[in-house]
Structure 1
Amino acid sequence: MTELDVTLSNSFADLKRFENNGEYEKALRTTNKILELSKDSQKAIHCKVVSLIQLNKFEEALNFLDKLDDEIKSKLNFEKAYCEYRLNKVDEALKTIKNSDSDDFGVKELEIQALYRVEEHEKCYSNYIDLIKNSSDDYEDERYANLTAVLSGLLAEKANFKSDLLDLNENTYEIIYNKACVLLSTGEYHAAIKKLNQAESSCRKFLEDDGASEEEIESELAIIKAQLAFCQQKLGKTELALKLYNNILRQKLADPALISVVSNNILVLHKDQNVFDSKKKIKSAMNETAELKLSKNQKLNIWYNYGLFLINTNQLDVYRKHLDVFKVKFPNNINDSLMVECFHYLKEKNEGQSIKVLNDYLLSKKKLDSSDLELTLLLSQLYIKGQKYKEAIRSLEKLGDNKYFPAIVSTLVLLYEKVDDLKAKEELFLEAINWHEKQKDNLSVLCNLYRELAKFYLNRSEPKSAAKFLEKIIQKTGKNANVTSMLINAYSQFDNAKAQSLKNELPSIEEILASVDIEHLENKNWSLGVKYVKKSKDTPKATEKKKKKKNRKKILPKNYNPNEQPDPERWLPKYERSNYRKKKDKKGVGKGTQGAMGEGVEIKPSPKQVVTSPTGPRQQRPTQKAKKKKGGRK
């Protein structure tokens, strides 16, 4: 055994010891010594890369890997991809993993994490399901926690996505928290609050058992409390949400992404009020270090809100620069940049320019899709405001299948009535009914359309057409007294026999009266309205007969004489009584000549007292203004 072999053997033994003790600085120095002696040692190269990763020197590790031969480098694709992932070069990490032939679980999990970062939730979800099925180790709970996080993102994109993951065992607070996020994605805020409270108590208990300090516990709970505040914000409890958000920021957390999101939400709550605080919050929200951890949607919302803030605070030069950067940064979100631009023109009361901007964009598209819905609705609203009803109709008619949504159908119906186009109104109803019948998703909307079209036909004296659609309601929902009464009205105009048979199906007046509690109705103060009716609890005392109060004994004056007639004017004021005599006027007493003085007395005028000016500096005081008389009612 040569001296070189002995040295290498001892160095590898030291390397093993340093690895077991977690002394990676020493391990790195040892690998460098080994590579000086044997530069092609694959084991030493691998150990050096691992040591650099453990020391968070990812850039240095990547530079070292790039200098290696392709043959050696290909065996370290996982390490290279991990370094790229940690340096936020996620797309490059995915390419590296794709070029790797390894079927190792670590490579698959890294790929899933990278897919989650680039928000390919559907692919990420299917990969996780496959990984969990084929794994049997101690990391199952962690994988399920990550899987519920993926599901939350997936439901935010596809609300109708179905999964049975909500039935998972809640072994960790991470799983409970992610389940709450799933409920948030579907808009179930009350259920999400319950789940978040459960996650908070579970997290606190776990960390207390683990010996964590109160500061560490609060730091871990911050993200749960932020979601609780968001729920309260969505439920309209703005004061409570604002209080929770501010409590989170007072903790001075180290997570820039959480600080950015919370600051943005506070800005939204402030709207155009509390500008000074909003300036500080938007500065925190626009933190560059936070962007690396934020999702695309979060970044978009923060930049969008910053644009609105600049317009509200009249920082128009900064806004124009921001809008140019916004368009470059989010090239696939043209609609959002147009909404901000239109808001700017509307703020300046330049509605014509807003209409021009919207028209230029919408006319440039051959076919409008669901992403253009907001812009089209804004354009039609501006037309309606300017009483340009035909232009509003044309803009809404271009929405394709989106125009069959109930609210848009209702708007179009009103517009058709404004321009007196009853034929177009009828065609819209028929098209909407046809579309909803094919969709088979919302029976109540379909029945409402049947009813409204039936009313339309009845008003136009077309009872046969009205009866046809009223019959469809009964077929789908069963017999209903209101619909049956409308149907009787329709049949009575062309088929009296049918109308009579339907009339017999309605309950008689005696049956209706039997089901009504007349005493209850009479006791109800319904005519006064809810505001004036006092609610009182039913107690046994309320049904008891009231006891008669004893009349108080009359107290008569001491000198009262029952034989004499009392003075009928005794209740009048004295000056109104017939025996009243006004006293003599004494206002002039003491005025006029009251006699003369003696001649010997000489009266000398006394000098006027001199008012000395105050010594020292005088403070200038504001002159006191004369108080204005308050004008009261006469």
Structure 2
Amino acid sequence: MSSAAAKSLSALLEQASIDDHEEILKACNNALKTSKNDPELLHVRFVALIKLDRYDDALQIVKDSGDKFKDRAKIECAYALYKTGQLEEAKALARSITNHRGARHVEAQASYRSEDFANAAKLYKELANSPTGLHDGESDLRINSSAVDAQLEWTGQGTLVSNKKPSREALEAFETAYNAACSSIARSELGQASILLKRTNDLCMSIQDLSEAEKQAEVLPIRVQQLYVATLLGKTEEANKLASEIPIQEIPDLSTRRVAENNAIASESSTTNPYLNRKVLDVASTLPKNDQLFTFQDSQLHENSLILDLLAQKPKAVINATEKVITAHQPTTSPHVNSLSALNAAAHAQGDLAKLGLKQILPLFEKRPNDVGLAMTIIQLYCLTNNHGSAITVLDKLLAHLSQSTSPSSNDQDVLHAPGLVALQVSLYRTQNRKAPIRAAFARAASYWRHRSKPLPTDLLQAAGASLLDSPEHQKLVAEIFETLHAAQPDSKPATAGFIASHALTSPASITETDISTLPPLAQQINAIDIDALEEGGAPSLPAPTTTTNPTAKKRGLDDKPKPIKKRVRKSRMPKDFDPNRKPDPERWLPLQERSSYKPNKKKGKGKGRGGGGGEAERDRTQGGISEKQPEKGGQVVGAGGGGSGGGGGKSKGGKKKGKR
């Protein structure tokens, strides 16, 4: 076929309305047999291969044809690179195409898959704000944008998400409702996520345009997420039921299938065989480049496999799998690396906790003094035994080792002043009511982060400013902290309030009327407080002072003593002949010689047995007697040593002997 014929064929293919891409590809292949380098035919063949999802074959055309063809089909080439997992090349090529909406879409999708979620959110925001006539693409734009918001929440960048609450439009489509549910899961709003997932399931099953098989395929990822939420909520029966109903091997996406297998194992009871569960994860198929797990998912699956190794009594395998990663990345605030440190410590402790586990782990800390995850594990074990002093000692050792790095660009300094470590310091110091170290920790961290070019940790700076606000030696630092926060967040009421409070005495001229007007007035803040309810609920109140308007009010003095409360004696402890109307002798517990009614016998030593001073009868009269001043009428006088009609030998009243009458 001549060159002219090839051109006419390519022109015919451009004007044709053939929907079968296989037929188009077949016609192009026949035409290229006589004209191998025709750019029009190559372009048509390239697009046909992309339509048939044969991305590797399409990129082979680019490789064989050179840069000239690549410049001709930039957008298609960028899309093929994205679909084959060559994300950085796809982003660079799409970024080189200016003023092209399709190129921005490809760049945003490649940024999403490469976990550059901040850039993806920025691109989708620009696409949403740009004027366009592609109204049929707005739905895809909304779906992709909500997916990016969910990933931002998962990776701890939730501050970049503008709309936390899903709109009404988002709840009308199952794709956007599903993304809203994922965002709620990332924010630990599990109850809200459960409701949204049920709505997502109902919306998906009610779509008329999908066949029953297509509905079941779309519902599978939703059910996998429901299984995850039910497991986190502790709904064991519901989780087991969902796990048994999900046909895991029928899930088309291999990454979703891998997550479903993991969640099914995690939802099972602790009596399952860890060896069999480990085998299930080992036989899982390798994921393709265009269907990889995100980093936070892959990290969790890796940690779960190591946990199964621990349960299967393979501590050496866990130690060997974690030591290289730990050594290469410490010190770090990476959750995954620090979790590996905790698993490494658990493998060395071989399941022992508290004191027994500490004996095995403490020597490791001497070898790896900058291992943040290991230090956190030791601190946690000390806190479990209520030994906060030793926990503070371990944390101080870690911070002292990190502070030895003097390089301003070193990662050690970022870890040293990390908000999480500062919060841990403050919490441990508060257990011992050590206010000075708390202020010192806040002051060091705030001074460090204010001069860093990274995004400011606003929560840390705000906590530091609030803690140091009443410290006279840190007034200048507090003013600088709130000045920085107020400049970065002019609409933040806490930042504005701190700015006003810190500058009110030192530089009141810097406070504007706009700053004051942004804060709600005091009357508005206290108008909802019910004073009567507070008093009834136990809120302390001051006693009413004595005034002329209230002459009957009595002010309690400091010397006023409360009246003693009379203790009620049980009846079983009362004597049988006790008379409540008779006042007992207050001196009844004193020895006889110490009573006020005591009169010594002048005939001391004579007549033993009488009531004399030194006889045996005198010494036998123990405590509990009744004073001689009290009358005997009205009750029987009973001595503590006995009484009644006991044995003979005594004399009755009147000097007569006792006996039968």
The answer to whether the aligner puts 1:364 opposite 2:361 as a matched pair is no
Alignment CA distance shift 1:85-1:500 (3 Å): same
One-letter amino acid of the counterpart of residue 344, structure 2 = E
**Cα–Cα, structure 1 residues 484 and 378, in superposed 2: closer, same or farther, change >3 Å?**
same
| CA offsets 1:356-378 (integer angstroms, 9 cap, x no match) | 334544x338xxxxxx4x54432
Q: Are 1:245 and 1:266, in contact at CA under 8 Å, matched by a contact in 2?
A: yes
CA distance 1:291–1:80, change in 2 (3 Å): closer
- Partner Cα separation in structure 2 for residue 356 and residue 314 of structure 1: 22
Deviations 1:509-554 (A, max 9, x none): 9xxxxxxxxxxxxxxxxxxxxxxxxxxxxxxxxxxxxxxxxxxxxx
Alpha-carbon separation, structure 2, partners of 1:140 and 1:262: 31
- Tell me, yes or no, if the aligned pair for 2:316 and 2:347 is still in contact at 8 Å: no
Partner residue, 2:61: 64
- Who is 1:301 aligned against? 300
- Residues 299 and 108 of structure 1, relative CA distance in 2, 3 Å threshold: same
In 1, are the aligned partners of 2:249 and 2:257 still within 8 Å (CA)?
no
Aligned to 2:487: none
* Aligned match for 2:361, one of 354, 359, 371: 354
8 Å CA contact 1:144–1:175 kept in 2: the answer is yes
User: How many Å separate the matches in 1 of 2:122 and 2:394?
Assistant: 41
- Check the 8 A contact 1:173/1:202 in 2, yes or no: yes
Q: Equivalent residue for 1:377?
A: 376
Q: Name the CA shift for 1:391/1:111 in 2 (closer, same or farther; >3 Å).
A: same
Percent identity over the alignment is 19
CA contact (8 A) 1:307 1:323 kept: no
| Distance verdict in 2 for CA 1:338–1:481, change over 3 Å | same
**How far off is 1:131 after superposition?**
0.7
Is residue 62–residue 83 contact of structure 1 (8 Å, CA) maintained in 2?
Answer: yes
Tell me the SS of whatever aligns to 1:101. coil
Q: What is the match of residue 20 of structure 2?
A: 23
Cα displacement (A) at 1:221: 0.7
Instruction: Output the CA distance in 2 between the equivalents of 1:339 and 1:437.
Output: 27
Task: Give a deviation string over 1:259-314, Cα, whole Å, max 9, x none.
Answer: 21122123333475301552354336675459943111100100111011111101
Cα distance change, pair 442–220 in 1 and its aligned pair in 2 (3 A): farther
**Cα offset, 1:129, TM superposition:** 0.9
Aligned to 1:341: 344
Give 1:379's aligned amino acid: I
Residues 229, 4 of structure 1: alpha-carbon distance in 2 compared, 3 angstrom cutoff: same
Distance 1:29 1:286 in 2: 34
**Deviations along 1:201-225, whole A, 9 cap, x unmatched?**
111111xx12502x33222111112
For residues 93 and 437 of structure 1, what CA distance do their matches in structure 2 show? 37
Q: Secondary structure at the match of 1:130?
A: helix
The farther-off stretch of 125-134 and 320-329 is 320-329
TM-score when scaled to structure 1? 0.61
- SS of equivalent residue, structure 1 residue 20: coil
Which residue number corresponds to residue 172 of structure 1?
173
Matches within 5 A, 1:265-414: 265-270=263-268, 272-275=270-273, 277-283=276-282, 287-289=286-288, 292-316=291-315, 318-320=317-319, 322-323=321-322, 333-347=336-350, 349=352, 351-361=358-368, 363-364=369-370, 372=372, 375-383=374-382, 390-397=389-396, 398=399, 402=420, 405=423, 409=426, 411-414=428-431
Q: What secondary structure does 2:247 align onto?
A: helix
The alignment status of 1:181 with 2:182, answered yes or no, reads yes
Aligned residue pair count: 447
| 1:301-340, Cα deviation, whole Å (9 max, x unpaired) | 0011101111110134544554368669999643232122
Distance 1:342 1:232, change over 3 A: same
Matches of 2:546 and 2:200, distance apart in 1? 58
Query: Are residues 115 and 199 of structure 1, via their aligned partners in 2, closer, same or farther at CA, if it must alter by over 3 Å?
Result: same
1:88 to 85, 90, 105: 85
CA distance in 2, matches of 1:235, 1:355: 35
C-alpha distance in 2, partners of 1:324/1:63? 41
Give me the whole-angstrom Cα distance separating, in 2, the residues matched to 1:324 and 1:346: 15
Give the letter for the 1:205 counterpart. S
RMSD (Å), alpha carbons = 4.3
Match of 2:46 in 1: 49
CA contact (8 A) 1:259 1:285 kept: no
Residue of structure 2 in register with 1:127 after alignment: 123
Q: Residues 211 and 223 from structure 1, CA distance in 2 versus in 1: closer, same or farther, beyond 3 angstroms?
A: closer
Tell me if the contact between 1:338 and 1:358 (Cα under 8 Å) persists in the aligned partners.
no
Matches within 5 A, 1:460-479: none
Deviation, 1:35, is 3.6
Cα displacement (A) at 1:160: 3.8
SS across alignment from 2:293: coil
8 A contact 1:261–1:285 mirrored in 2: no
User: Residues 176 and 195 of structure 1 are in contact (CA less than 8 Å); yes or no, is this contact kept in structure 2?
Assistant: yes
Displacement after TM superposition at 1:153 (Å): 0.8
Residues 318/412 of structure 1: CA separation in 2 closer, same or farther (3 Å cut): same
Q: Which runs of 5+ in 1 are unaligned?
A: 366-371, 417-421, 451-473, 489-498, 510-634
When residues 139 and 5 of structure 1 are mapped into structure 2, their CA distance, relative to the original with a 3 A threshold, is same
The aligned residue for residue 427 of structure 1 is 436
**Greater shift after overlay, 3-12 or 88-97?**
3-12
CA distance in 2, matches of 1:48, 1:334: 47
Match of 1:109 among 93, 105, 109: 105
CA distance in 2, matches of 1:438, 1:343: 31
User: Contact 1:307–1:340 at 8 Å: present in 2 too?
Assistant: yes
Structure 1 stretch displaced more, 48-57 or 243-252: 243-252
Specify the SS of the correspondent of 2:246.
helix
The aligned runs of 1:457-496 (5 Å cut-off) are: none
Shift of the 25–429 alpha-carbon distance from structure 1 to 2, 3 Å rule, reads closer
Residues 524-543 of structure 1 aligned to structure 2 (within 5 Å): none
Q: 2-side partners of 1:502 and 1:180: how far apart?
A: 62
Distance in 1, Cα, partners of 2:173 & 2:62? 38
Q: Which residue of 2 aligns with 1:553?
A: none
Question: 1:239/1:484 Cα in 2 relative to 1: closer, same or farther (>3 Å)?
Answer: closer
Equivalent pair of 2:306/2:318 in contact (CA under 8 Å)? yes
Between the aligned partners of 1:13 and 1:433, the Cα distance in structure 2 is 72
CA contact (8 A) 1:291 1:299 kept: no
Q: Could you give the per-residue CA deviations for residues 27-55 of structure 1, whole angstroms, max 9, x where no partner exists? A: 23432343444444321121121122223
